[in-house]
Structures are given as C-alpha cells and as structure tokens.
Chains A and B, each alone.
Chain A
Amino acid sequence: MNLKATAASSTSDGTSDSSAPRRNSKKPKYSRFTQQELPACKPILTPGWVISTFAVVGIIFIPIGLASLFASQRVVEIVDRYDIDCIPETLRNDKLAFIQSRETNKTCTRSLTVPMDMKSPIYVYYELDNFYQNHRRYVKSRNDKQLQSKKNENETSSCDPEANASNGLPIVPCGLIAWSLFNDTYRFSLSSKVLEVNKKNIAWKSDQGHKFGDDVYPKNFQSGGLIGGAKLNASKPLSEQEDLIVWMRTAALPTFRKLWGKIEVDLEANEQITVVIQNNYNTYSFGGKKKLVLSTTSWIGGKNDFLGVAYLTVGGLCLFLAISFILLYFARPRPLGDPSFLSWNSDPAGHMN
C-alpha cells in the first residue's frame, strides 16, 4: 500500500511539474501528510464490536481468575495476632508501661495448629498494622550512600533526628527507619523438637548486593537515650544484616508484612506448633496490631485472593455487559447508518438530507 503510494506520488510529482510550467508556482506539493489523507484504519464501535470485545475479555478473564483464585486457595496460611495476648492480663491496662519497662519478662508462648499440610519452605512473616512506613518523614530518613560504602560513613544528611549519636559521631545506619527496626523474635518448636528457622536469603538479592555494603559495620547504633527497636550486631556488615535489609525496603501501606525467616520442613495438618515470642517491639503506643504469619506459597506467591476475584469480577461483568448489549440490541435496534438519527433529520423543519 505504502510502496504503491510513494511510487505513484513520485511519478505524479513529475507530471505535475511538467503540467505546471509556471516558474514560481506556489502550488503546494502533494503529500498524503499535508492533504491529510494518510492511510488509516477507521474502527467503528459497532454493537458487534462492543459485544464481541466484552465477550472475549470475559472469556479470557474468567479462566485466569479461576486459576489464580485456585492458586491462592492452595496457599496455607496461619495468622496469629499476639500483641494483646502476649501481655499478662494484669498489665493489660497499661501496655505501654509493660513494653517500655526493661524489667518485665516479654517472653510469650503461643500454640498454633496447622490447618492443612504445609510444604516447605514455610515462610515466617510478621505483620504490623497502623505503622506508617510510608510517612514522608519516615521514608526519607535514611542515607543510601552511607549504607552502601564505608567511605560514606559520615553521610548522615536527611537522617534527622537519628543522624548523630549524643557524642556527635555519625550513627551507622542512620535514620528513623533503621532506628525503629523490628525486634520481636520467634522460636518455633514442633512437639518439643525445635524447628530451625533459616534467616538467610530473606532479603532481595539486589538490596543485599548493592544497597548495603559489605564493609559497612553498625556504629553508635541505638546508643542514645531512646531505643527505637532492635540492636545490630556490630561485628557483622550491613549486607549480612538481612532483617535490617528487609525492614528498610519500606512498605507501601500502613499495614504490611515482612519476611522474618523460613522453616524448611514440611508440616502436616493438625500438628501443634509452639512459638516462643520475645515480645519486644512497641506497637502499643500507636495501637498497632502485631501478627505472626506462617505461609506457604504457590506460583502466584502468597495468599491473596484479590487478583483472582478481580479477574472473575471483571470477566463476569464483561459477560454481563455483553449480554446486556445483546438485549439492548433487540430492545432498541438501530440500523447502522440510519439517516433518521441525524440531528437535522429529526428536526421537523429540516430540509432534505
């Protein structure tokens, strides 16, 4: 089509030149562009198109929805909220005092029942609520340069108010995010047999390898009067502090889960897992919940029905719309290109078409 057009126009240019011998002809040159005649397809949204588009979308979406819903349903998930239960009943009227006190025993034992067989790896998550990791003041309170390399240790800009320790030395890692590192710990046992939790490889490789330097060691961390969260092992480089790395990939929403470790044994249905929780982290001051989550994964990841439901809804809606349009087609038929629908024809005083 295009080839033909260019060939034709090139010959025609020749003829037009010869037919218009006028020397200073201001006649514009023909081109499909300037004459606005570019080859184009002109889709018309006929009812046929509308109905078939809806139908096709519906037909594609429903299987996808079913598949992902199925995958999501296969995931076994144990969720246990422990923030209240882990406070002795006597102290529950002042949870804040309990959590802030150094004397209280924060160890707490929970028992979980495995609802279904869980294939390894079983992922251990903690879930926090009402925790605004996406608050503007919080998100920016870190320094990627400092985390990356030892030579940038003194870079603490944007880390306020956790930039420098009381002695004026820079805190490594600085900033509110690191300072508020989650510090509850979990120990799992299955009928008094300890379930090992693998805490390796819980952070994204890209974070571990590039964002957190292997020559950067924690310094002056949590040395101030206010302790925000976990302390770090000063002898391990940041790149190996995977809990910190996970924590510092800030969550999008105030309710979030973070990976804590992996249990690499299969669990069977109705087995009782005993969890010993060190309930250190203060979510009580802002009324946030704490949950422990054990979950397997499938090919779509963890348990999340949203995609499946959304696909099914959209697919179903499309089918419904397709059917409605078919009904509409019969209820209010309009032949394509019926001139009587032209506004000037519906006007009684109108003229000829």
Chain B
Amino acid sequence: MSGWDRIRASGSRLGGGGRSRNSQTTVHLGRVQPQHPGHRTIHCNDREANLPVKFKGNSVSTTKYNLFTFLPKGLFEQFRRVANLYFLMISILSTTPISPVHPVTNVVPLSLVLFVSLVKEAFEDWKRLLNDRVINSTPVDVLQGQKWESIPWKKLQVGDLVRIKQDGFFPADILFLASSNPDGVCYIETANLDGETNLKIRKALERTWDYLHPDKAAEFEGEIQCEQPNNSLYTFTGNLITQKQTLPLSPNQILLRGCSLRNTEYIVGAVVFTGHETKVMMNSMNVPSKRSTLERKLDKLILTLFGVLFLMCFIGAIGSGIFINRKYYYLGLREGVEDQFNPSNRFVVAILTMFTLITLYSTIIPISLYVSIEMIKFIQSTQFINKDLHMYHIESNTPALARTSNLNEELGQVEYIFSDKTGTLTRNLMEFFKCSIGGEVYGTGITEIERGAAQRNGLNIDEVKKSAAAVHEKGFNFDDARLMRGGWRNESNAETCKEFFRCLAICHTVLPEGDESPEKITYQAASPDEAALVTAAKNFGFFFYRRTPTMIKVRESHVEKMGKVQDIQYEILNVLEFNSTRKRQSVICRYPNGRLVLYCKGADTVIYERLVDGDNNLKKVTRAHLEQFGSSGLRTLCLAYKDLSSEWYESWNEKFIQAKSSLRDREKKLDEVSELIEKDLILIGSTAIEDKLQEGVPSCIETLSRAGIKIWVLTGDKMETAINIAYACNLINNDMKQFTISSETDAIREVESRGDQVEIARVLRDWVKQELKKCMDDAQHYLHTVSRPKLALIIDGKCLMYALDPTLRVTLLNLSLNCTSVVCCRVSPLQKAQVTSLVKKGARKITLSIGDGANDVSMIQAAHVGVGISGLEGMQAVMASDFAIAQFRFLTDLLLVHGRWSYLRLCKVVTYFFYKNLTFTLTQFWFTFQTGFSGQRFYDDWFQSLYNVIFTALPVIILGLFDKDVSATLSKKYPQLYKEGIRNTFFKWRVVAVWAFFSVFQSLVLYHSTVAASRSSLNTSGKMIGLWDVSTMAFTCVVVTVNLRLLMACNLITRWHHISIGGSILAWFIFIFIYSGIMTPYDRQENIFFVIYVLMSSFYFYFTLLLIPIFALLGDFAYQGIQRWLFPYDYQIIQEIHKNDPEVSSRVELLEIGNDLTPDEQRSYALSQLPRETSKHTGFAFDSPGYESFFALQAGVLAPHKAWDVCRRASMRQQPAPPKN
C-alpha cells in the first residue's frame, strides 16, 4: 500500500513537476524558504510553491504490510509466538543427523500453521486496503483555475482550496476560510473524534469571509505558518499571512479530518495537514492488545508441557546412556562410530539423545493449537457475536460488533462490571415527564421504574391509555389534558402556571437552531435536561424561537383558539450561570411592560434554602412531590422566581458588573454577588425529567447479579442522581446496608471555603480514613450477623481520590469486595480507570467496563474486557472497546450466552488439544523404552506430521464452534450457570490432571495392546509383521480413539460433527490406502509400502480396531458416568430438567424482534426481588457541563475546554447588561 503511495506521489511529482523542477531554481527561488523545524509554511492555492517542501499526500494507508514486506514482516510476527519459534528450532534440528525423524515431520505442520495464519493476516490486510481505497477515492471539490473540480481525496495536497458541502466529511485538516452562513460560522460534528454529538461552532477569520465563490477564492493568496503536525486535537497555533497582514489562527478556525459539516450549506477552506499528518491520524494509536486470562493460563499449561517434554527426554537420555554397549555387535558400534552411539562416551550419548528425543516428542506441544483457537474465535466473533439477532438493535440499526476476537472466552468469566451511567444505563434522552405547579402534580405517565416497583409488589399496571392530548417528541413525553393545548388557563392556578412556563422558556442557555417554527426548530443545549425543559415550554405554548445577545424571543399562545399568538421579547439582563457549587441557574429579565423578574431553577436543596418564608404548605406539598418524583427515578429541578424592584436591581447590578470585571477570584466574587439576589425566592413548582433507563436495564442487572456478577456504577454525576439511578436499576434497595462516604459535609465545606489546599487535603484524608475504617468495622459486624444483609457502598470522587491512596487502597478494596454493589459518583475518567485496575490488579478478578462516551475510554482500556455502547453517541468509546453493543441489556446475551459458550468451548478445545497430543506422544514414549532408548520413531514421518493438521484438526474446530451445553434461552433463564465460568470450573489444574490421567491410561492401552496382539503371526499364512505394520495399526487406533473421545466431549452432535469426525477417520484411511499403495521414485524409505493391505487381510486388524478404542475409552466413559451421576455440574442438571423440551427455534421471534421484553425477561423482572419500601430521597437533575474537565484538572490531566463551551461563554459574557431605562 505504501508502495502504491510512492508511485502515486512520484507520478504527481513528475506530472506537475517537470516544469517546476527547473523553475524551482530560476523563477521561484525567492519563494523557497527553508522550513523551520518548528513550523511549516504553506502557500495556499499554489501547488507549485508547495512542491519543494515535500508534504505528505492525503492518501491514507492503514495496512500493516505491502507486497514486499508481507512475507518478512508477517513471518516475523508469527515467530514471535513461542510455539512457532519452538517448531522452527525443531525443524532446523530435524535436518541434522541427530534427528530420528525426517524434517517433513515438523516442517509440514509448521508451514501449514504459518500458511493459515498468513492467509488470515493477508485477508485482514486486504480488507483494510479496500477500505482505504474507498476512503482515498471519495471525491472532494478542489479549486482548480476558477472552478471547483471533483478529485479523489488522495489527490488532495497541502495548500489546496477545497469546498465541503453539508454533511460531508473533511478530507484533511483544513483552515476554515469562508462559509455559506452569513456570519462566517459553520457547525461541525465531532462524533468520530471525541464521541460528542452536539454540534460545535467554528468561526472563520473575518478577513477571509469573502473567498466563498470560486472566482473570488481563486484570488486568495495566503501563506500559512503553523506548527508541525502533532496529535493534540484541541490546540493549533499558526498565522495566516495574507495581503501583507499577519492574522493569528486558533483552533477555532481548524476543521479536523474525521469531523463532518452540519447545518451549513458549504464551506471553503485551505488544506493544512494531509493524510497521516492529520491530527486524527496522528491520534490513532494502536490499542494495546489484550490477552484473555484463559490464554495466559494456557501459557502455563504449555510451559508444563515443556516440563513434561524435558522430563521424558531426560529419562530417555539416561536410558540411552546406560543402554549403549558394544555387545550389540549388530548395531555396528565399532571404533570411530559417531558420537551419538559411541559407547566409550556415554555422557555425550545421553546429551545427544536428549536432542534426538526432543525432536521425536515435539508433537507434545500442540503446534496447531494457537491457530485453531484463533480460527475458532474469529468465527465466533464475526459469525456469532456480530450476527446475533438478539443483540441487534432495531431502532438504531446497530448490530453487535466484536472489535477483537481475542477476548471471547474472557466474556464468560467476568466477575465485576464497571458501568458508566449516562448513556449506558440510561438512554441519555431526557424527557419532560411530570411537573408540580403550585402544589399540583401534572403528568399522568408511569415510569418504568414505578411499573417495576409495582410489579414487585404484585400489582400489575396496565399501560395507561394515553389521552388525545398526549404529546411525545424528543425531550417531551407528557400527558395531561389539564395543561396541554392551553388547558392550563382553566386551572385554578393559571398565573402560577404562566410563571412556570415562562421560567422554562426564559431561564436557560439554550441556542435555537434552524427554522423558527415549532415543528422544525432544534435546540442546542449544553445538557439534554435543558433542551427538554425548553421543549416543554414550547409544547405548553411558550415557544422560545430566537436568542440574541440581549433578547429572548418567545411566541406565547395563551388561549386555545388559534390566532391569538403573541411574540414577546424578554430582555435578558443577567445570566447567573450554573456551576457545580451553585447547583442553580438564574436569569434576570425585563418584560416588555417593564416588569423585572429573576427566574431561578436548581436543585431542591439549594432552592429551598433560598425561599421566602411563608406558604409552608406549598413547600411541604412540593417537597412531597419531589420525593415522589425522585422515587420514580425522575430527575427533578425546582423553579422559583422573584420580582425585583428597579432600584434594588440597579444597585445590585453595579456590584455584579464590578465582580464580573474583577481580575482576581472572579468566579468566587460572582458567586457571592449572586447570593445577594438569589434569595427570598417564591417557589413555583418543580419539573420532573425522565432520564429513561435503557430498556431492560433493571432486569438485565438483576440477571447479571444472579449470575454472580457484581456491578459497580462509576459516574460523573452527582451523588443524588447516581443513587437515584442505582435504585432504579435494582442495584441498591432499602434492604441493603448502605455505606456512604461523601465529601459533601459541612465540616469539609467549611474547610474548603477557607481555601487552604494543604489543609483541605489533610482534612479530607483523615475524614476518608476514618470513614473507611468505620464502614469496614460495620461491614464486618454485618457479615457476622445471622441475616447477613447485603451491603452497598456509595463514594464520591473526591473521597475516592484519597481512598485510592496506597495506604488506604487495601481497606477500600476489602470493603468494596464485600459489597454487592458499589456506586462511585463524581469520578473523573482517570479515577474510573483507577478503580477498574484496583479490582483488576488488587483482587485479581476479571473485570469488564462498559461505557459510551469519551470519558469512559480510560476505564474501557483498563479493564480486562472493554465494552462500548454503540449507536447513539459517538465513536470514541467504541473505538477503544473490545466489543460494542447497542444497548446495555445486550450484556446478558454477550456474557451469559456468547461469553459462557466461548469459555466452555475454548476450555474444551484447549484441554482436548492437550489430551490428543499427550496421548499421541506418550505412545511414542512407551516405544522408546523398547528400542534401547535410541529414539527410533514409532510412526512414519508423514503420519506424525499430518496427525495434528489433518487427522485430528477439524473435529476440534467444530467442537469449538458448535458445542453448547444448554440453549441460549436456558443460559439466560439460569444465569447462575455463569458462575461456573467465574470459578473457572472447566480449566482448573484438576480438570487438566483428569485429562492427563486418562491420556496416560489410553496411551498405555493403545501402545501395549497393539504390540502385544502382534507377537504371533496374524493369519493362516504364518507370516510375521514388522515394526511398520504395528505402528500403522497403532496409529489407526490412535486416530479413531482420539476422534471418538472428542465425540464423548460434545454436549450436542450436529451434522457437522458427523462430517468432521467421520471425515477425519476417513481421511486417514484414504491417506494410508494411497500412501501405502504406491512406490515413489523419490528418496524415501518404503517402509509403509503395502502395510495397510497386509494388515487388512487379517482378523487381527479388525479385532484390534474394535477392541482398542473401546478399551481405551472405557475409563473416560466410566468417569463421565460417575461424575454426572454423583457430582453433576449445574449445566448437566439443567440439561436433564429440559431434556424433553422441544427444540425451539427463535427464528420467528427473531424476525419480529422488537424492543419488547421477552416473556422470560418479564418473568425474571417480576420475580426479581422482595418488596421494598419506597425510598425517601429526591432525584435531582442538572448535568454540569464542565465537570469532566474540572475533575481532570484536579487529577492533573489537562482537558482543554471544548470549543463549544468557550464560544458560548464568550457570547454570554459579551452581553452588555446596562439597564435600558
């Protein structure tokens, strides 16, 4: 691929450059500037000038190899595997006279294995190449002469002027020059880069706004001096020199490759970085490849095998040293015999025999094991996981995706799940669901959580018939005829309603976008909660449609009848922004009639503190409503307002302006000033937004916890919200003993307000230490009580930071491992990763992280298995993950079905491989004892070389693909079966030892029986058979036995089993018929000639063939019978329970797969847990937009402000706030 690049690059150099190469030295000499190592200088719209500086082309190659590097590089990769390297060495050794076997014995399997691996590599690389080609030949408009011409991306060069149309992707990193939008802005979506779907604004330099049309753009001459390509997505420094002016450039003018253009007809820009030098490509790091625990254990097994091999060779070597003697004159051991048989130096004989035996017994190391496992896992992931209809999400049209096939079986052993909350457990779709206005609850919907709770109490709530007034759109799911379509006018508290709606319509920082009609408008908001509130206002008849720096325009329709619509402009005087300490947001606005009002919304705790005295009844009722909402899993906000007198406001505003313009501690001062005005508020009511849990989450969590998996929620959200969701998901309930370690105590707040960092750290550390100790003691106490209540730990990020300190870490780990569920709130991405690796490394348990956003990436990479939620949010988490699924509930399928089966299959495959090679090699070993330890091979070279790759290769792969103990439905019905995986039941040393024991038994039977049966003549002709006849007989028995043993290991037998097992045995017979039927002119010994025909002419052959496999497998069969009878595995019981169930195909169900819960899920949902009290806490909704960077900063990670935030804040701050009157 890169070779192809070079050709292309040189071609273009020749094509365009024949002329310029000359001109370069003559005409353009003055323009050729030496590139400063620190920057690059780009001449816009002038390819020739850029030529001397050989910028990289825009063609991108993600392939690993090209035609020439494929073999060396691919082989190098292969030989990094120990088994392959070992076989290479054995192959080399077997070309020396020391070897008892022909090189073919080891070379053939090795080359077959290498061939298969290389074909796989080539195939994958080819797919990458095709993908690259598609991307590289996507057309883009480039300015050539005075018009736009469409050229493929790969032809794009640095300095070109390009035009990108709406929804198009940027082909390179581009300097934004002009936009079809009037004010030189464009909107971009950066989902591919950081996973965020909200649009971001980029603004071109004013001076370049005009270069929009081709004729004008052709006149553009500019020189960009900028930094060298780097991988920092959020920084860019450079200057644009145009018309003798130097204009500074910022990230705000850079459009990065990978983003796409939205809501803008088209833009024009100049290419700055191309191809591999673009920021996104420089960011694409290789995700560190993970290896599964099973494979690591497999390494230990292989090492053990090496040990056994060494032991066998050692025994043989000693034997050979003792055996060798001149008395065996027929061996020709005269003076001058080669060292290996020289009786005068027995030590050398032993050493050399050691090497001989290593080559002879090399089959004990299963060479084709890795490639078989790889193949099995590859098919498992591409065919089974990716194509599972149970994991296909119809709404987002997303199937599951296994991004790596290394970890399939790891999915079957997960013990801890670390889950993000927003977007993972919940849909991150905020919907206005209920509200309480003036002490009256509106909204008749029933949340999923309420329904679940009711069902747990034995009530069955039917779906409430929606009234005709019900509206359901994005952000709004509300049904109450009393409010809809102006119905609120008839309510007793119509005035309060009006305040309520106005507060919703005015008090926010949302930007409207698109057509100014209620149907088409879209709201750009920092948090989906805000958008939901504004959407709600719109639906109640207060349609916010335009924002200017000083105005909010609302179209108010007050009556039912159409026509009476009023556009009202509210002057926005001040915005008191939301932040995480204030937990509220206020807007001061002036009505057209001069009324000055402060609208405020915020957390109930914060608002209640600031309410004016009086009307305690309303407060009490509203408080009750808040609790009710909270227990229904809704996110609540309190709304309040306050009329201001003009004078009071003026005096306050002066202080405000002063605070705003202060240089030191501005935020703090602003907060203080805000406190002055945000008091004596009048409560209007509260909103309740449903952050809908993803479908089936509670039942999924319930199933997973029955499977023995512990689920931890790690979220950046507030403690209240996190606890709320934890309740909703059944993670916490009131029967549990909850330990809460929170930094939100008065004492700590007080210390924090003093601002001494050292003091804060000390106090917090002591606090955390003390709390942890207390919790630990309590936990110990509870664990020793009879009832043994379940424990839950709730800890916030700040405390976690200290709890993760090396001195406290062990306590934290002990405490949390004793808890059934753990909720960590307000944690930074880094802490998410720290917690994950705490459990991974500290407790040595297998962990899985699941998340959807960029903030989950570190956690996803830290865990054994990373799962990304795909479909809705961006790609960042998915790109870092090992598996991507569309919905949290698909974890059930992924873990309980695919993971469990993969684990089961892989265990069987590995142990079976171990068994079949050990058995085969041991027969060889027993023979060694009867050959004077000379290392004579028992089997023909070709038998030995094809044993692993042909005669026993396919069935085990079939086993690895198709075996399943119980059906998918039962796997989910009995989640406890999963515990077998967590306990690693099927790949313990004990299991391996049982296989090894029977392997020894079988090899003894196989070898000694065949040999013993051959001591006399075999038929009436009286002729005797020789070594090769016996070995062919033995090999036939080995192939049959080993293949039949596989059949005994199967839980189910499909047509494929018959074909592969029958086929393997048949392949052996076909092979031996041909192989022994021919004489070849090649240099081989004709030992095997006619052997099989000689054998088959005797009863001995048939009798032995019937006896030996049955004799050999007798032990296994009896063991299996006794094991199943007396010590049954769980899955065996389940098999027996459902023995007579008809084979249910899920086909019909799958074809109509909807989002309804399956009956099984509903049942398990209903049965889930004991009835419980209604909780007494209120939900509280307000996502803080900046919390991630806030925490990241505290953790020492620089997370730059998002351009969007910067932009929005700037526009807010610019608002001139002088009073108008």
Contact = CB atoms under 8 A, between A and B. Distances in A.
A161 interface: yes
B489 to A, nearest CB: 43
B1027 A141 contact: no
A301 B931 CA distance: 26
B1052 A42 contact: yes
A199 B1121 CA distance: 55
B1099 interface: yes
B1147 to A, nearest CB: 6
A161 B330 CA distance: 11
A349 B1026 CA distance: 65
B788 to A, nearest CB: 7
Given A28-B386, A138-B330, A256-B1024, A334 B1085 contact: no
A135 B936 contact: yes
A325 interface: yes
A57 B1134 CA distance: 29
B1161 interface: no
A341 interface: yes
A138 B1027 CA distance: 12
A241 interface: no
Contacts, number: 317
A135 B931 contact: yes
B180 interface: no
A339 B1090 contact: no
A252 B1055 CA distance: 39
Contacts of B1079: 148, 210
B1102 to A, nearest CB: 10
Interface stretch (A102-110, A271-279, A311-319): A311-319
A9 B384 CA distance: 18
B1103 A332 contact: no
Interface in A52-80: 53, 57, 61, 64, 68
Nearest to B353: A136
Interface stretch (B70-78, B832-840, B1138-1146): B1138-1146
B1022 A132 contact: no
Contact of A35 (B1021, B1051, B1132, B1146): B1146
A127 B1027 CA distance: 16
Nearest to B1129: A343
B1020 A301 contact: yes
Nearest to A125: B1024
A337 B1132 CA distance: 8
A135 B327 contact: no
B287 interface: no
Given A137-B934, A262-B1022, A332 B1094 contact: no
A50 B386 CA distance: 39
Bin the interface of chain A by size: 35 or more
Contacts of A336: 1136, 1139
A37 to B, nearest CB: 5
Given A39-B1055, A45-B1121, A47-B1121, A337 B1136 contact: yes
A44 B1135 contact: yes
Given A29-B387, A328-B1125, A134 B930 contact: yes
B1031 A252 contact: yes
Given A30-B389, A134-B931, A317-B1114, A302 B1107 contact: no
B1111 A314 contact: yes
A49 to B, nearest CB: 8
A145 interface: yes
A26 B1137 contact: no
Nearest to A343: B1130
A118 to B, nearest CB: 12
B146 interface: no
Contacts of A176: 330-332
Interface string B1003-1023: 000000101111111111111
B968 A134 contact: no
Interface in A227-283: 228-229, 246, 249-259, 262, 282
B1099 A300 contact: yes
A342 interface: yes
Contacts of B1126: 328, 332, 334
B1136 A27 contact: no
B68 interface: no
Interface string B1105-1124: 01100110010011011101
B80 to A, nearest CB: 33
Interface in A178-226: 179-180, 202-204, 206-207, 210-211, 226
A111 interface: no
Contacts of A82: none
Contacts of B1098: 301
B936 A36 contact: no
B962 A310 contact: no
Interface string B384-398: 101111001010011
A298 interface: yes
B1114 A285 contact: no
Nearest to B1140: A337
B1083 interface: yes
Interface in A153-184: 160-162, 176, 179-180
Contacts of A138: 330-331
B1019 A134 contact: no
B1199 interface: no
B997 interface: no
Contacts of A50: 1117-1118, 1121, 1125
B1053 interface: yes
B1056 A38 contact: yes
B1150 interface: yes
Given A28-B386, A301-B1100, A337-B1139, A285 B329 contact: yes
A38 B1143 CA distance: 10
Contacts of B988: none
Given A39-B1054, A297-B1019, A299-B1020, A206 B1094 contact: yes
Contacts of A337: 1133-1139
B1017 A259 contact: yes
B399 interface: yes
Given A28-B386, A123-B1022, A343-B976, A253 B930 contact: yes
Nearest to B975: A344
B1004 to A, nearest CB: 13
B1093 A257 contact: no
Contact of B706 (A45, A53, A125, A351): A351
B1024 A257 contact: yes
Given A132-B934, A137-B341, A301 B1017 contact: yes
A3 interface: no
Contacts of B1020: 297-299, 301
A68 to B, nearest CB: 7
A251 B1013 CA distance: 14
A21 to B, nearest CB: 12
A203 B1145 CA distance: 62
B1013 A318 contact: no
Nearest to A332: B1126
B328 A301 contact: no
A246 B1110 CA distance: 33
Contacts of A145: 1083
Interface in A295-353: 295, 297-304, 306-307, 310-311, 314, 317-318, 321, 325, 328, 332, 334, 336-339, 341-344, 349, 351-352
Interface string B469-501: 000000000000000000000000000000000
Given A125-B1024, A301-B1018, 14 more contacts: A26-B399, A27-B397, A35-B1146, A40-B1054, A64-B1103, A135-B931, A161-B332, A249-B1026, A254-B931, A259-B1022, A285-B328, A300-B1100, A301-B1099, A301-B1100
11 contacts: A12-B1147, A28-B387, A35-B389, A134-B936, A207-B1090, A246-B1023, A252-B1027, A252-B1031, A306-B1015, A332-B1125, A337-B1135
Of all A-B residue pairs in the complex, the 9 with the closest CB atoms, nearest first, are A302-B1016, A206-B1090, A337-B1136, A123-B1022, A337-B1137, A28-B387, A136-B934, A50-B1121, A180-B330
